[in-house]
Amino acid sequence: MRFASKKLKKIEVAKLIPARGEKLRRVIASFVTLASVALGTAGLCAAQSVIRPGEPWLDHHGQRIQAHGGGITVWKGTYYWFGEDRTPANDPEKRYVACYSSRDLVHWKFRRQVLVLADPEHLGPHWVLERPKVYANPRTGKFVMYAHLDDAHYKFARVMVAVSNRIDGTYNFVKSFRPLDEESRDIGQFVNDDGSAYLIFESRPTKGFFLAKLTDDFMGVEKTCFIPAPLEGGALVHYGNLYYVVGSHMTGWRPNPNVYATAPALTGPWTEFKNLAPPEANNYDSQSTMLVKVTGSKTTTVIFMGDLWRPKSLWDSRYFWMPLDMDHGSMQLPPPQPWTLNVKTGESAIQANGK
Ligand code: GAL
């Protein structure tokens, strides 16, 4: 809209210049053209209030959002989306994490590439940095990024930690380690209602994954629970009186039916895992990365935040966000449809006409 009003101002100025005959006609014609551009822009803004799973999602510059395998951090009433920035023009020797901000989880402003890192552990040309997550530490005032760090063969199996003084500032690499001395591949992020922060990490040799509370300075972890299910893309939410954990099976970039379990406490006991969607739907080709809880004045919506991977052109991978159907211990992922979200009331609505 700012763009449209600027254009209109230009025209107002043009109208003040004495114009006769052809010149006047041209001024009127360009006014009409630009007014329709303004209206068109308004229409576009309205259309973009809708979340459309699987379709290209643009930032405020009209660029494709690059935040794959991402996470959402809430800071001072604003949502920040961090994720893998796979822009083809990036330096192939470096790995990038981009940061976007939003007040409504629909319109995203590109802040910057907050991490631009050259192979910090000398893992070789195809080294891997995936699934970055950022935690805001109220005690230290620092922002702490965790990400999966690996070599081309996924044998290094560690997390890396990078720290910044500002949420969208530059994150400096501090260290890499194996949480709880275990191999760690896919990671997930969870912040509980009381502010306590957790890392979820998949650990292949144990045939399961861990929930691990971050230490007070967020620079390490302590064990909360081990869940004996070999799942990755781990995500967690507290809803009603239950914790719900979600994960995908280990099929690399290929999608599979994601599953969930519930427990009354983070330490368990956890139920058996059940399908999040009819298994033949194959999770609508998506893989979990996070569960985002939006509590508003009227209700609470839990969003399944997933990736639709395109391994041959990772930059072109899409996002799959849908509100989950939650009901006393059951959690179901609806098929992809356009939907709207009101973060103030917490309400979400699937578009009746699919538009
Ligand atoms: C997926 C994982 C991705 C990436 C990929 C590589 O299972 O969730 O983050 O590691 O495997 O094959």
- The domain locations on the chain are 10-43, 57-354
In the chain, how long is the greatest CA-to-CA distance? 82
Mean predicted confidence (pLDDT) in 46-72:
91
Nearest-CA residue for ligand 1 atom 7 is: 252
Name the pLDDT band for 41 (thresholds 50, 70, 90). very low
Q: Which DSSP string do the residues of 12-38 spell out, in sequence order? A: HHHHHS---HHHHHHHHHHHHHHHHHH
pLDDT tens-digit map of 238-268: 999 999 999 999 999 999 999 999 999 999 9
Atom of ligand 1 nearest to the CA of 185: 10
CB–CB of 257/274 below 8 Å?
no
How far is residue 50's CA from residue 46's CA, in Å, rounded to a whole number?
Answer: 8
The response to whether residue 253 sits with its C-beta less than 6 Å from ligand 1 reads yes
Among protein residues, the one with the nearest Cα to ligand 1's atom 1 is: 252
**pLDDT tens for residues 296-314?**
999 999 999 999 999 999 9
pTM for the whole thing?
0.87
3-class SS at 86?
A: coil
CATH of 57-354 given 2.40.440.10, 2.115.10.20, 3.40.50.150, 3.40.50.300: 2.115.10.20
Of 16-25, 104-113, 325-334, least confident by mean pLDDT is 16-25
130 Cα to the center of ligand 1, angstroms: 8
Q: Cα(211)–Cα(86) distance, rounded to whole angstroms?
A: 28
83 lines ligand 1 (CB under 6 A): no
How far is residue 253's CA from residue 239's CA, in Å, rounded to a whole number?
29
pLDDT at 318: 98
Q: How many CB atoms lie within 10 A of CB 322?
A: 23
Beta bridge partners, 73, equal: 80
* Whether pLDDT at 215 is above 80: yes
CA distance 259 to 335: 15
pLDDT at 352: 75
Query: Phi and psi for 80 in degrees, rounded to 5?
Result: -120, 130
Residue 69, ligand 1, Cβ within 6 A:
yes
Dihedral pair phi/psi, residue 72, rounded to 5°: -115, 135
- Mean pLDDT of the chain, nearest integer: 89
**What distance in angstroms lies between residue 253's CA and the mean position of ligand 1's atoms?**
5
pLDDT at 336 over 80: yes
Ligand 1 centroid from CA 221, angstroms:
23
Altogether, the residues listed in the chain come to a count of 355
Ligand 1 atom nearest residue 287's Cα: 8
Percent of the chain residues past pLDDT 70, beyond the cut: 86
Ligand 1 nearest atom to the CA of residue 69, by list position:
9
CA–centroid distance, 10 to ligand 1, in Å, is 50
> Can you count the helices (H) and strands (E) in the chain?
2, 24
Q: At 147, give phi and psi (nearest 5°).
A: -155, 160
Whether pLDDT at 89 is above 50: yes
Assess whether pLDDT exceeds 80 at residue 190.
yes
- DSSP β-bridge partners for residue 148: 130, 159
CA of 306 to the centre of ligand 1 (A): 12
Q: Ligand 1 pocket check: which of 154, 232, 289 to mutate, most ligand atoms within 8 Å of Cβ?
A: 232
Share of the chain above pLDDT 90, in %: 85
| pLDDT for res 8 | 34
Ligand 1 close to Cβ of residue 232 (< 6 A): yes
Q: Using the predicted structure, report yes or no on whether residue 354 has a pLDDT greater than 80.
A: no
**What distance in Å separates the CA atoms of residue 241 and residue 342, rounded to the nearest whole number?**
23
Question: What is the identity of the amino acid at 152?
Answer: A
Q: Decide which of 58 and 7 is more confident.
A: 58
